[in-house]
Amino acid sequence: MQLKEMHPLCCISLETPSTGDQSPELSLSTPSCSGNRTFAGVLYKWTNYGKGWRPRWFLLRNGVISYSKIVQPAGDGVKFIGDVSSGRRYKQQKAVGIGSVYLKAANTEVEASGVTEGEYQLTREDLSDLQRGKYSDWSTTESSDDVEKQEFDDASEDEETYFYDTQDCFPELKTQPDKMAECGIERRKKLPDPAEKEKGVSLWSLIKDNVGKDLTRVCLPVYFNEPISSLQKCFEDLEYSYLLDRAYHHGKQGDSLQRILNVAAFAVSGYASSEGRHCKPFNPLLGETYEADYPERGVRFFSEKVSHHPTLIACHSEGKGWKFWGDSNIRTKFWGRSIQLDPVGVLTLEFDDGEVFQWNKVTTSIYNLILGKVYCDHHGMMHIRGNREYSCKLKFKEQSILERNPRQVHGFVEDASGKKHATLFGKWDDSMYYINGVKPKDAGDANLLWQRTMPPANLTRYNLTSFAITLNELTPGLKEKLPPTDSRLRPDQRHLENGEYDMANAEKLRLETRQRMSRKLQENGWKPRWFEKDGENGTYRYVGGYWETREDGCWDDCPNIFGECSQEINNSSSR
């Protein structure tokens, strides 16, 4: 059988191949798959072009396959496939052009039908057709190289790597119920239809002279922006804030391990919205703010641009039993075909019972800017440090050219002594799972922590999530309550959202001229209105008062930063 005809679910038992470029021959063993029986044996798995097919001991239980490099104790009531009496050497049988695939019945009706207890015989052509279908329903959650090479920086080399197949078999995550109807809030489901036809612009013609420079200081046309600001994009990290609500309740019940597991899932979930997002958010003006009040989620959020050189954005959010704050600066490097974004800043999460977690974001890279399909990747180590019992280390694996299963995240929870109590794995654009301990007893032990919300049906070129679509919305009665510094009132951003590209470009040029005056404001002693620095090298902290001022509707001391330059600059400089 040729390599491309090998089906990943074929249960086989034979000797280790002498060469790495030949696919293993199929066994004709045909055990029954009815009932809840457990099967064990050897599955030859393609690893890479250097090592070819390699045997893996597998255990099939309740429709889920677990793999390991060495034979594991299978327990009682296990049906062995093939000759497993001689360790890792197995009896080879004569090969024929038919393979056996054992599938778990979806329900009792199917199992009771005349389909020979779930056993299906596939010809070579059938297997080839399945290969061309890319096995979409049975994809592995680890890349082949990870079975051989997956290690963490502080993990010992002799630790075994476990991974899981058929993630459809994992239990569904029951997320927070929709409370929008209870709050009487109806948020929009899509952006306004564009008023003008878009104009194509060559990115390379604009940035070819800026290789190696900080692209945050490069002026680009509005066509390369998405209709939200960096202040609003900070709030996107809280799309799955229910994970923090859940973490708070677990901690109240004394389950500190579940608390940090949900915190870790929250730290990963903020990257899911970046999938397919290739446009740049608007760079806020100095003193620009953004508020978000989502009572249906139990979250209030506020952010402000507190410095222009260097560019710093500070944010503060409050939820059900927790507070979340931080400031962020992004160092940008352009390398010709890619852009590297290195976040600088610490994010802090504090629960009402005094437990605190802090972490830094990982590096983001955007590839194929000139040729090929543009995509982004997040990579690096994230260390979530707790002030009590547990901490967590997560590794965002960098995507390689030959990577068949990208965007993977792996990590573990450890106590102060370094003992590992739980293992996490998943993908930053899809879901996160965990198992207790380091070595699972059963693949069914994996538990779903978080799953990404499905994208909206009618995607635009911005590929905004359903949550992001609501961020720049002016709901009824909101405009009258906002300060003149809020991002929703920024004219170039509003024109872009409405598809008025010529007006958006004109306003963007006007506001960038104003933005260049911001350095003069800082030199004259300008200070942010709602945040102050915690010490000389500390994080910007929210000083309070915004929501109270909003309630009073008194914004007299807030400048009209989106107005004309001269008057506001002079007024701000004299403060």
Is pTM, for the whole model, over 0.85?
no
Point out which residues pair with 280 in neighbouring strands: 225
Q: Residues 308, 291, 547, 306: what is their CA dihedral angle, to the nearest 10 degrees? A: -10
d(C-alpha 268, C-alpha 361), whole Å? 9
Place of tokens 């573990």: 412
Place of tokens 């960038």: 512
Task: Identify residue 413 by its one-letter amino acid code.
Answer: V
Place of tokens 């910007």: 540
**pLDDT value of residue 545:** 96
Classify burial at 408, counting beta carbons within 10 Å of its beta carbon; exposed 0-12, middle 13-18, buried 19 or more: buried
> Consecutive sets of 10 residues in the chain, 575 residues long: mean pLDDT of each?
38 39 42 62 74 78 77 69 50 41 45 39 39 37 39 40 42 46 77 84 61 63 92 97 98 97 98 92 95 97 93 96 94 84 95 97 90 90 97 94 85 96 96 89 80 89 94 95 97 96 93 80 83 87 96 91 63 46
- Of the candidate CATH numbers 2.40.160.120, 3.20.10.10, 1.20.140.10, 2.60.40.10, the domain formed by 180-476 belongs to 2.40.160.120
**Residues 6+ positions from 266 with CB-CB distance below 8 Å:** 240, 241, 243, 244, 247, 450
What are 487-530's pLDDT values in tens digits? 999 999 999 999 999 999 999 999 988 887 777 777 777 899 99
d(C-alpha 500, C-alpha 471), whole Å? 19
Q: What is the DSSP string of 279-291?
A: SEEEPPPTT-EEE
Contact assessment for residue 130 and residue 122, using Cβ atoms and an 8 Å cutoff: yes
Query: CATH 2.40.160.120 in the chain, residues?
Result: 180-476
Collapsed DSSP state (helix, strand, coil) of residue 495: helix
What are 263-306's pLDDT values in tens digits? 999 999 999 999 989 889 999 999 999 999 999 999 999 999 99
d(C-alpha 481, C-alpha 59), whole Å? 60
